[in-house]
Amino acid sequence: MWKKYNKIAGGGATMPTNAVQTAKRSVSGDHDDLDESQLEQELCRLQRQLHAMEGDRRAYSEETCNLLRKQKSEIASLKKENEEIGKVLRLAKSDRNVSADGRDIEKLLTLIDQLDEYKTKCVREEREIKQLDSEIARVQDMINEEQKLMGSVTEETASIIVSKRLRITENRLNQELMKFNNQLATNARLREELDHLRQEKAVFDSLHKRLTKRLEDTKHQISDCIAQASSAYEERDEAQTKMIALKERSDKDMAQQEMEMKELLRIIKHDDMLKEFMGVKAQDRHDFREEESAKRLKGKDTADHETDVEKQTIRQLEKAFERVTDATGESDITTIVNNFIRKEDENFALYNYVNELNDALEAIQEETANTQEEIKRFHDENIKSEDNRRKMIREMELEAERFVREADDAEQQNTVVCKVLDEMRVGVEKLFKEADCDSSTISDMLGSDEGVTNKNILQYMGIIEQRTMELLKLQQYIQMQKEPPKTERKDSKGQPATTPSQQNKKSPRQSLVVIAPPNPNEEDELTADGELRPLTRDELKRLVMHNLTVRPPPSVDARKKSPPKRNKTSPRPSKPAQLL
């Protein structure tokens, strides 16, 4: 029986020697106690299973509560997201946005009407230009008729006037060539600046794109870090929830175990006191037997004394039996012994149960210590990850601020460059219109009528330069056409005298290189224009009319004798470019 108990209890405890001997004596006489002990063991096992199942039930209940809490939080977040989406939809369908769209449509219609109006104005201006050209031609014919009628000036006067007019024209040509060369140099410089600005704009655009891309990458990294931090926070909350649940469970188990330990210790203490009392009584009985044997050896002389001692011992035993009877409530010695053996068996079973509880307590304490270590480790890792996350976010914020500053600087530089380009476009377009350039040529070349842009500004400047050359040629042609023919004069030897104009005809290159200095007395007849720019159409018209009114008409006989040779006297179109 005791071997079986030792196997069930794991061999962790042994019974006292006296209790084992008493149990062996009782087992041989009664087999019902074995069944009761087995039932008690089965009851203890079932109680342990009940405790384990209660613990599992509590764990499942806690897990279910956590799952329900997570589902409720997800439902709340989905509701919030639905409300935000509805708010955005209502904002998009608001009256303010609808009215803004209507205003934009009205503005577009107004711009279309303005475009039609400007087109109409352009057609009207072209018609007026044609009328002015016809008027100029008519006035030119009238001037020619008047010049034919006026022929009262003598040949000498005409020669002097022609020479003076030639010097004035050469001076004006010199100044105009200087202005034209300066304007060409300015155009070349502006073209270089424009190319440089376009290159800078391309560099700034690439830098802006690269910075924008890096900014987007930084934003994605920040969002990823925020997502990782959110998941880490959720894992930390879940770990804290599990830790709190384990702590509560451990506290409850510890409290229950302490209560059970107190009850078991009380029972063990009572049994120990009973064992001690029974041991004392057994020792008294043994001493009494030894004394009785000693009295028998002493003889007859000590009989009375032994009788007294025996009576005294009997009285002590009777008193002890009365105390046992009072304590147990039983008067039968066999019942008392059986109860004692049964209590001894119960105490042994309780002793084994206490050992099992101690082992379970040690396992729970070890598990609690491991859990606390894991909690501490998770806490340290959480602090470390939080520090790393804050450091990373700070670095990303600094980098994002730097990117934003660089993007702002690039945007400002781009704005300045775009402003300069816009001013240049406006100036080129204005100059193109004032020079009365043919817009159909540039339209055919570019294939569109979009106007002056960053891509075609060089083509517009080339057409303006070509138009300037044409205007200069036209001015020279008009001047040479209005010059009177000169009579051939002979010197003292009978040879024809060479006039300055004839010398210019013979050596045109030398006339272009060696230019007579201007006469200060004739500067009042020139138009003092201090700006280094080509003449507009109105300015050219005023200059031609001024020249026609100032220069006296030549005689009719001189025109008949020597018609003007325009092809020889007019400078070639490439001559002004040779001075560059």
pLDDT digits (tens, 9 = 90+) for 427-449: 888 888 887 777 777 777 776 66
Which residue, 516, 514, 539, is CA-closest to 527? Answer: 539
Long-range contacts of 307-314 (CB under 8 A, 24+ apart): 313/284, 313/288
Tokens of 190: 């502006």
Higher pLDDT, 15 or 465: 465
pLDDT digits (tens, 9 = 90+) for 200-237: 888 888 888 888 888 888 888 888 878 887 887 788 78
Supply the pLDDT for residue 46.
92
Q: How far apart are CA 253 and CA 247, in angstroms?
A: 10
Residue 83 placed within a domain: yes
Identify any residues that bridge with 490 across adjacent strands, giving them in sequence order: 496
Residue 61 placed within a domain: yes
Residue 217 placed within a domain: no
Tokens of 135: 């008027």
Highest-confidence range of 124-128, 304-308, 417-421, by mean pLDDT?
124-128
Domain that holds residue 54: 42-115
Neighbouring residues of 546: CB distance < 8 A, sequence distance ≥ 6: 527
pLDDT digits (tens, 9 = 90+) for 380-391: 887 887 888 788
Residue 342 placed within a domain: no
Tokens of 26: 């009782």
Supply the pLDDT for residue 78.
92
Q: Is the pLDDT of residue 124 over 80?
A: yes
Q: Is the pLDDT of residue 563 over 60?
A: no
pTM over 0.75, yes/no: no
Supply the pLDDT for residue 525.
41
Residue 365 placed within a domain: no
Task: Using pLDDT thresholds of 50, 70 and 90, give the confidence band for residue 288.
Answer: low
Give the whole-number percent of the chain exceeding pLDDT 70: 70
State the DSSP H helix or E strand holding residue 381, giving kind and residue range, or none if neither.
helix 333-434
Residue 85 vs residues 78, 81, 223: alpha-carbon distances, Å: 11, 6, 21
Residues in the chain: 580
Supply the pLDDT for residue 75.
93
Average pLDDT value over all residues in the chain: 72
Q: How far apart are CA 580 and CA 182, in angstroms?
A: 9
As a whole number, mean pLDDT of residues 366-382 equals: 81
Supply the pLDDT for residue 451.
75
Supply the pLDDT for residue 158.
66
Domains of the chain: total: 1
pLDDT digits (tens, 9 = 90+) for 85-117: 888 878 777 778 778 878 888 888 889 988 888
Tokens of 323: 């105390």
Specify the range with the lowest mean pLDDT, choosing from 88-102, 157-171, 463-477, 484-498: 484-498
Supply the pLDDT for residue 182.
86
Q: Which residues of 360-387 are buried (b: 16+ CB within 10 A; e: fewer)?
A: ebeebeeebeeeeeebeeeeeebeeeee
Task: Using pLDDT thresholds of 50, 70 and 90, give the confidence band for residue 156.
Answer: low
Higher pLDDT, 1 or 323: 323
Highest-confidence range of 59-63, 100-104, 295-299, 360-364, by mean pLDDT?
59-63
As a whole number, mean pLDDT of residues 254-266 equals: 81
Q: Is the pLDDT of residue 573 over 60?
A: no
Residue 51 placed within a domain: yes
Supply the pLDDT for residue 496.
45
Q: How far apart are CA 264 and CA 353, in angstroms?
A: 9
Residue 206 placed within a domain: no
pLDDT digits (tens, 9 = 90+) for 445-471: 776 667 778 778 888 888 888 888 888
pLDDT digits (tens, 9 = 90+) for 537-551: 566 667 666 655 554
Supply the pLDDT for residue 298.
63
pLDDT digits (tens, 9 = 90+) for 470-483: 888 888 878 777 76
Residue 60 placed within a domain: yes
Task: Using pLDDT thresholds of 50, 70 and 90, give the confidence band for residue 553.
Answer: very low
As a whole number, mean pLDDT of residues 165-186 equals: 85
